[in-house]
Amino acid sequence: MDPVKRTRKPPDKRAERARRTHEKIVEAARELFVAQGYGATSLQQIADRAGVAVQTIYFVFRNKRTLFKGMVDASIAGDTEPVATLDRPWFRAACAAPTAAGQLRAQVRGARGVLERVAPIMPVIAAASATDPEIAAQWPQSQDPRYTVQRVAAEVLVARPDVRPDVSVDTAADLLFGLLSPELYLLFVRDRGWSPEAWEEWAYATLHAQLCAEPPRPRDDGHVPWPGGG
């Protein structure tokens, strides 16, 4: 036994309070931006919704544009932690799957989680970017970060034993980038009324048909819950 008594470091209560305050502000901003739009929402309204002083928002985020970017980033990630998509547990688990089919299943499920959060704010982002050049400049136009993520996934995918032999990294990346896009998700779920579950099954089945050499395995209940799937 270690003769030196070890003591557990007490939690940093100040850091925990700061984290909760950050999350409350971001959530209040998301609710108001979606309901009212970027231009019509003031920092005072966000402060009132979050239950904090407006000076607190200035201290944490500096200005409305930075808060907007933080809200978008948190919607993509699912939390306010500064962890890139490539390092997120769901993405790492998908890339660790031993087969292409397993990777696609996990990746489509993870993408659905992201898209369910991001879909409601897509019109807000478009409107804000169209009226405020500084908002638009926060997202570089040279290369979409989503493509960077899908390119990494494609490089892993083509090394799997059940991938189609004629599939290149470029083709796989393009298919992942296109089929898992927020635009296509909105087309099916918002515009055509599909459920998120139906979109997930369709996206997986379509990607599997294009990228995998083996036929897809049926779900445990044998049902495919998307229009035309039986």
Q: What is the CATH number of the domain that holds 20?
A: 1.10.10.60
Contact 46, 34 (CB under 8 A): no
**Do 146 and 41 fall into the same domain?**
no
Cα separations (Å) of 164 from 11, 94, 140, 229?
50, 18, 33, 24
Q: Is the pLDDT of residue 230 over 60?
A: no
Q: How many structural domains compose the chain?
A: 2
pLDDT band at 112 (very low <50, low <70, confident <90, very high): very high
Spatial separation of the C-alpha atoms in residues 134 and 129, rounded to whole Å? 8
Q: Which residue has the higher pLDDT, 81 or 9?
A: 81
Specify the DSSP element, H or E, that contains 188: none
- The boundaries of the domain holding residue 43 are 15-82
* Coil, helix or strand at residue 119: helix
Domain boundary among 51, 82, 113: 82
pLDDT digits (tens, 9 = 90+) for 63-94: 999 999 999 989 888 888 888 889 999 999 99
pLDDT digits (tens, 9 = 90+) for 23-39: 999 999 999 999 999 99
pTM here is 0.79
